[in-house]
Amino acid sequence: MTEKGPDPSPRQRTLKRLGCLSAAAGVALGSAYCGVRGYGVVDPMPSPARCPGLAATVRASASWTSIDTVTVILEAPRAMDAAYVVDAHPGAGPELVSWEIKSSHAELVFRPPPEQTQLRFWIAVNCSPASIGPGTERLQGTVELGERPRVDGGAAIGPPALTSPALIVNLADSP
């Protein structure tokens, strides 16, 4: 029969447990990398928005302006001395056919192919939050196209104009 000594202190028990865990982690990492070739990829978290809440200050609307054309209108941001970068090309796919960017609004015109159900775009915005100073970020938008207009008896008949709930605007930092 062996006699037990006094119970170790909580610190000693914790250190012993950490030693076991680190040994187990070393074995797990070693076995995970055996025979694996290539790079381990870790996706970093994106930076926070330069001007958080900016998207909430922009009124946006989208509507079918013809049987195959969608027009998106973004009013000027109403916070943080923000303004659209007038000379910057908005980002979008090949369905973006024209745009006009002014200090008072931005208008983007899309011609999506029939199978497309969503439009995505971004536009550059200069803003000046007091805490970090001036800079540029991207105002990103998504338009859910829903039901398309159709030709019925030669006249275009379609859904009512898409309003701001159909246009989802999110903020992200510019690269």
User: What pTM was estimated for this model as a whole?
Assistant: 0.62
Res 139 pLDDT > 60: yes
- 141-158 pLDDT tens trace: 888 887 777 665 555 555
Query: Would you state the pLDDT for residue 166?
Result: 45
- 112 inside domain: yes
Range of the domain at 86: 55-173
- 49-86 pLDDT tens trace: 667 777 888 888 888 877 788 888 999 988 878 889 89
- 37 inside domain: no
- 113 inside domain: yes
For every residue of the chain, DSSP letters joined together read: -PPP-PPPPHHHHHHHHHHHHHHHHHHHHHHHHTT--S----PPPPPPPSSTT-GGG--EEEEEEETTEEEEEEEPP-STT-EE-TTSPPEE-TTEEEEEE-SSEEEEEE---TT--EEEEEEEEEE--TTT--EEEEEEEEEE--SPPEEETTEEE-PPPP-GGGEEEEEEE--
